[in-house]
Amino acid sequence: MIDINLLRDDVIGVANSLKKRGFDLDTESFSKLEASRKKIQVRTQELQEIRNENSKKIGVEKAKGSNTDSLMKLVSETSSELKALEIELSELQEKINDFLLLIPNIPHPSVPDGITEEDNVVVRECGTKKIFDFKVNDHVDVGKLLGLDFDLGTKLSGSRFVVMRGGIARLHRAISQFMLDIQVNEHGYEECYTPFLVNTESLIGTGQLPKFAEDLFVTKRGNDESDLYLIPTGEVPLTNLVSNSIQEEQHLPLKFTALTPCFRSEAGSYGKDTRGMIRQHQFEKVEMVQISHPDKSYEVLDEMVKHAENILSKLNLPYRVVQLCKGDMGFGAAKTYDLEVWIPSQNMYREISSVSNCESFQARRMKARFKDSDKKNTLLHTLNGSGLAVGRTLVAILENNQREDGSVTIPEVLSVYMDGEKILKLPK
C-alpha cells in the first residue's frame, strides 16, 4: 500500500508516476473521498469545541443553582451528532482503505520506462548455449520417455497438471533439495516450513488481494464461513511471518527460505503455454524472502539476484538477467529483476526467477515495523524472489542436457542427491 500522505501532498505527481506503469489513478474519486474526510473532521472538531464549552457552562450554572436542562439537552444532541459522525468517518476510512488497496506500488526512479516485456533491459547474459548435433526435442517429448506424464495429470485433475514417475520424479526432488541446501548453507537463509493454506489477511498483506482474487484457488473449511486460500507463492506465508510485529533493528535483515507448492488458476493467461510445464496450476518453488532495513534494501536486492544466479551457475544452465520496465513489474514491486533461462526448443530465454524490492508497500499493509535507533517504529522493507522455480528448472535441465538417445545428463551438483547417478536413462 502506498503512503496516503503522498496522495494528499501531490496526487497529480503520484498519478503521473503510476501512469508510467500503465495504471490510471482515479484522482477525482480520491479528491472526493478526501474532501468528505476533511469535512467530517472539521465538523467533528467544531462539535467537540461546542460540547466542551457547554459542559463548562453547565458546571458554572449548577454552581449558581440555575436550571441547566437546556444546556444538558444541547450537550446530549451534540454528543449524538458526534457519534453519528464517528460512524460516518469509520465507513469513509474503510472506503479510502479499499481505494488504496487497489493502487500498485510506485516504481523506483531507476526503473526503465516502458509498458511491455519488449521494453525490459537485458543486464547481462551468462553461460554458454549448447550446440546440438541432433534434432532438439522439447521437454514434453524428452520427458515422455522418462516418466513425465501430462495425460495422467489431466485424468486426475484436468489441464495444466502433471504426474512424474520414476527417475524424473527423483530428479525433480533432487533439484528442490539442492536449491534449498544452497539457500541455507551458502546464502544464510533460515529454512522454514509454513502452511500452504492462508487466510484473507495474509494475501491482503502481500498484495494478492483484493486485486488478483481470480488468480487464486479458494477453499472452504467445513461449515466455517471464513475462506482459506492455497498459496500462489511461498512469498505469502514467509513475508507474513513479520506481519503485525515490531522487529529489533539489530536483527535485520531477516532471511527466510522455504520449499512450497504453489497454486495458480492462471486466469489471465488463457491460451498461453498450454503445452508442457511452463505454466501449471500446481508447481514447486524455493522462495527467498528478506526483511530489510529501508537504507539497505537495494543492496539486499542485488544480493538476492546473485543468490538466484548462483543456483543457475552451479547447474551450468545458460541464463540472462533482465531489469523489468515500469509497466511489466508486479503489483507490489518497486524494482524487479527477472532471471531467464535458455530453452533450446523455443530458441529463447524464459523466466525462471523474479526478484523484487517492494520497499514499504507490503509492510504498510501488514503493519510490519522495526524500532530504529531513535526508538521510533518505522516500516520495514520486504523483498522476495524465486530461488528457483523447480518445475521450470527441470524443464531447462531436460532440454539443455538432453542426449541423442533420449537420456538426459544429470548436472554434477545433483548427482549426489541421486546416489551418484550421472545420466537419467530411459526405462528398460
**pLDDT per position as a tens digit, 163-181:** 999 999 999 999 999 999 9
Please, what is the end-to-end C-alpha distance for the chain in angstroms? 56
Q: Is the per-residue pLDDT at 412 higher than 70?
A: yes
d(CA 424, CA 428): 12
The tens digit of pLDDT for each residue in 198-239 reads 999 999 999 999 999 999 999 987 777 778 999 999 999 999
Over residues 259-264, mean pLDDT: 97
At residue 368, the pLDDT reads 98
Which residues, including other chains, have CB under 8 Å from residue 226's CB and lie 6 or more apart?
199, 200
Q: Which domains are present in the chain?
A: 26-101 (1.10.287), 117-424 (3.30.930.10)
Going by C-alpha positions, the residue among 269, 210, 202, 261 that lies closest to residue 232 is 261
At residue 266, the pLDDT reads 81
Q: Is the per-residue pLDDT at 367 higher than 70?
A: yes
Over residues 177-199, mean pLDDT: 98
Q: How high does pLDDT run on average in the chain?
A: 95
Cα distances from 198 to residues 219, 220, 223, 244, 362, in angstroms, run 10, 12, 17, 16, 16
Q: Is the per-residue pLDDT at 247 higher than 80?
A: yes
At residue 68, the pLDDT reads 86
Q: Is the per-residue pLDDT at 268 higher than 70?
A: no
Dihedral Cα 358, 364, 368, 372, nearest 10 deg: 90
Over residues 100-127, mean pLDDT: 97
Within 293-359, residue ranges assigned H as helices are: 297-314
Residue type present at position 202: S
The tens digit of pLDDT for each residue in 17-61 reads 999 999 999 999 999 999 999 999 999 999 999 999 998 888 888
Q: Is the per-residue pLDDT at 11 higher than 90?
A: yes
Position with higher pLDDT, 67 vs 289: 289
At residue 52, the pLDDT reads 92
Q: Is the per-residue pLDDT at 267 higher than 80?
A: no
**Strand, coil or helix: 66:** coil
Over residues 412-419, mean pLDDT: 97
Question: Taking CA 414 as the corner, what is the angle to CA 126 and CA 284, rounded to the nearest 5 degrees?
Answer: 80
The tens digit of pLDDT for each residue in 134-146 reads 999 999 999 999 9
At residue 292, the pLDDT reads 98
Q: Is the per-residue pLDDT at 91 higher than 80?
A: yes
Q: Are strands 254-263 and 190-191 parallel, antiparallel or unpaired?
A: parallel
377: which DSSP letter? E
Over residues 351-368, mean pLDDT: 98
Q: How confident is the model at residue 378 (pLDDT cuts 50, 70, 90)?
A: very high
Q: Percent of the chain at pLDDT above 70? A: 99
d(CA 239, CA 363): 9
Helix (H) or strand (E) holding 226: strand 224-230
Residue type present at position 179: M
